[in-house]
Amino acid sequence: MPLVAKSNLPTFDYLRREGGRVLTSEEAQRQDIRELHIGLLNMMPDAALQATERQFFRLVGESNQIAQFFMHPFTLKELKRGAPTQEYIDTYYDSFAQLKHDGLDALIITGANVTQPDLAAEPFWEPLIEVIDWAAEHVTSILCSCLATHAVLQFRHGQHRRRLAAKRWGVYPHKVVNDLHPLVADVNSLFDVPHSRFNEIGRDQFEAAGLRVLVESDTAGVHLAVSEDLLRFVYFQGHPEYDTISLLKEYKREVKLYAQSQRTDHPPFPHNYFTLKSEAILAEYQDRMDAALAKGEPVPPFPEDHVTGSLHNTWHDTAEGVLDNWIGKVYEVTHHDRKLPFKDGIDPDDPLGLRDKI
């Protein structure tokens, strides 16, 4: 079903060029289809802000639900921005104050870059709590991505994330461990998910918080969990929204940091992502880069074009299925005026009617 371009946000034109269906406001008004209003709290740094926006917009727009999707990106003023990004935000993003007034059906919260060992010391901590506390009372379902999952587990459940011995970085196999929940209905029972993080919340911590684990990996840990009421909070630790090239772009940034002496070692290859041929090309590039740096010569161009064509996406279809299921349940139980999260007759403590079944 289509997204509705309620503004001139460049992401809408980007998705149209990809072949996605995006209606103008005038076209949307001529259709007798129910609206769903979905907020995107985008806390990503400047370099990743628009890419993350496109990734989540794309997943929502690929849903099969019969609805018009109005996307409402917003961010937190406490996050420092460069001048171009701040101008972009001022031009295209909504304010939290306006969204509180108008209401939302669902909310997606992205990850963020952190600089402190304790999330509570981050400048976004208090404003993020304000958003989530409001959403918990007024929004049918909140989907938390990676860092947002860690933040909610800390301030709502007292579960602090744990530092990993090494960065969990790559594409990992996962399995559905609770196939009765509608969020994983009719999706592959085995599928891949990209991860990129230095910390994790373990299964024992999710269970101690009274949450239900739906998808996990033997090597990457829990990916998908839900709150005790089975819908209000949905937690991702991986990044199913990633584009095929997202990990390549991240690897390229790390290589640049090495070349600029901002890291002391070559970045490792993301697990299960590059082909053997691509790894050989990149290893050869490392040698050429080291030789140039040793001689004080310019660093040779990164061989991105020689690697991109061999990348494969083994996660998007399942991500699309999970998001479709999520939006479908939000559509089913959300009150039409978006002021009360559930319809009359829906138990707010068990909106899906599944507590005795799962």
pLDDT of residue 177 exceeding 90: yes
Structural domains of the chain sorted by starting position, each given as residue range(s) with its CATH number in brackets = 3-243+313-333 (3.40.50.880), 246-308 (no CATH)
pTM of the complete model: 0.91
Q: For residue 162, what pLDDT is reported?
A: 97
Q: For residue 340, what pLDDT is reported?
A: 66
Q: For residue 338, what pLDDT is reported?
A: 66
Q: For residue 1, what pLDDT is reported?
A: 61
- Mean pLDDT calculated for residue range 42-71: 93
pLDDT of residue 339 exceeding 70: no
> Which tens digits make up the pLDDT trace of 181-233?
999 999 999 999 999 999 999 999 999 999 999 999 999 999 999 999 889 99
Active-site choice (53, 62, 241, 254) = 241
Active-site choice (195, 239, 316, 320) = 239
pLDDT top residue among 64 and 205: 205
pLDDT of residue 286 exceeding 90: yes
Q: For residue 25, what pLDDT is reported?
A: 84
pLDDT averaged over every residue in the chain = 93
Q: Is 146 a catalytic residue?
A: yes
Q: Is 150 a catalytic residue?
A: no
pLDDT of residue 263 exceeding 90: yes
Burial grade of 105 (CB within 10 A; 0-12, 13-18, 19 or more)? buried
Active-site choice (146, 181, 216, 223) = 146
pLDDT tier for residue 87 given thresholds of 50, 70 and 90: very high
Residue 232 is encoded by which pair of tokens? Answer: 């209000």
Q: Is 304 a catalytic residue?
A: no
